[in-house]
Amino acid sequence: MNNRYSRQELFPPIGKEGQQKISTKHVLIIGAGALGTGSAEALVRAGIGKLTIVDRDYVEWSNLQRQQLYCEEDAINRIPKAIAAGNRLKAINSSVDIKTLIADASGLELEEWAKQVDLIIDATDNFETRMMINDVSQKYQVPWIYGACVGSYGIAYTIIPEKTPCLACLLKTIPIGGLTCDTGGIISPAVNMVVAYQISEALKLLVGDMDSLRNKLVSFDLWKNQYSAIGADKLKDEHCPSCGKERSYPYLSFENQTKTAVLCGRDSVQIRPPSPIERDLEALEKAFLKQNGTVQRNPYLLSYSIDHHRLVIFKDGRVLVHGTKDITEAKALYHRYLG
């Protein structure tokens, strides 16, 4: 007799009935980095019916410290993360239907994927994609779980269309700048804690135990021994363009997305935010000086060179990524170093 899920079924809030429900559900994970690999492994071990993983990047040596599905051979061969993750997950549980996509999650693709899933888990590295996930969630009535971490800090929040405030209610506008794992570092316990929050909420949703959902935005700093859980219900905005009465899903429109263009005759891609912003070049310089690359700054722009790429960042938010004509690669570098 196969007792693979017996310990999970012995847990009363799940039981055999809940396990059966889990086995029929389809979850979409956007991103196969630290949060994505942790969440994917937990769901596959829990017996999810179908799992789709989307990621545009490949495995690098710096990933191995915290991205638990990858090994040294993946980094040596620069295997796409989606493929490496899928191979490992199939070895863990061959009964799960695992679909892997090497892709950049744009609005059009997110809309198509969202029509087929029961839950979306955020494991991205940027707020632009999160806001598109948020709009897709509201448009197609699919719950999603926001999560992020950097350094020893982490945050998680569960969003249920028509019931909770959405991410746009909480943030109002897309945050620009801030530390990333590549500029501020990260420790694996912070990743594991966010994954624990995200997957515990995911299991509640998958078995239909809505009364047990946290209904609070949780944040913590493990190094500073800080923790907070904030009730967000009062932040729901009836005029919110993403979830309000006259919603327009603004982050799915082309006008509100980051613009990219390959520069004619040059091995470079220009990336421009949806609207002009003012970058703090001095703060960016301090962050980049902690890295292995070369940093140069004048009153108008900052240049950061690493490996065979060079990012030139202007005060108005524009970035030139030199050393590639691949827009997907350029966007990956942009989000890696600029959040």
Q: Which tens digits make up the pLDDT trace of 80-89?
A: 999 999 999 9
| Predicted local confidence at residue 172, as pLDDT | 79
Residue 114 clears pLDDT 80, i.e. is over it: yes
Instruction: Give how many domains the chain has, as a whole number.
Output: 2
| Predicted local confidence at residue 176, as pLDDT | 59
- End-of-domain residue from the set 252, 276, 302: 252
State the residue range of the domain holding 179.
Answer: 6-252
- End-of-domain residue from the set 235, 252, 269: 252
Choosing from 181, 240, 243, 264, the catalytic residue is: 181
Buried-state track 146-180, b at ≥16 Cβ within 10 A, e below 16:
bbbbbbbbbbbbbbbbeebbbbbbbeeebebeeeb
If pLDDT is split at 50, 70 and 90, which confidence band does 105 have?
A: confident
24 and 131 co-located in one domain: yes
Q: Does 71 qualify as catalytic in the annotation?
A: no
- End-of-domain residue from the set 187, 219, 252: 252
If pLDDT is split at 50, 70 and 90, which confidence band does 263 have?
A: confident
Local structure of 226: helix, strand or coil? strand
315 and 209 co-located in one domain: no
Residue 221 placed within a domain: yes
Residue 197 placed within a domain: yes
What pTM did the predictor assign?
0.82
| Predicted local confidence at residue 146, as pLDDT | 97
248 and 313 co-located in one domain: no
266 and 118 co-located in one domain: no
CA–chain centroid gap for 99, Å, is 18
Q: Is the Cβ–Cβ distance between 173 and 329 less than 8 Å?
A: no
Q: Which has more confidence, 255 or 32?
A: 32
**Residue 208 neighbours by CB distance under 10 Å:** 10
Residue 178 clears pLDDT 90, i.e. is over it: no
Q: Is the Cβ–Cβ distance between 176 and 191 less than 8 Å?
A: no
Residue 135 placed within a domain: yes
Residue 1 placed within a domain: no
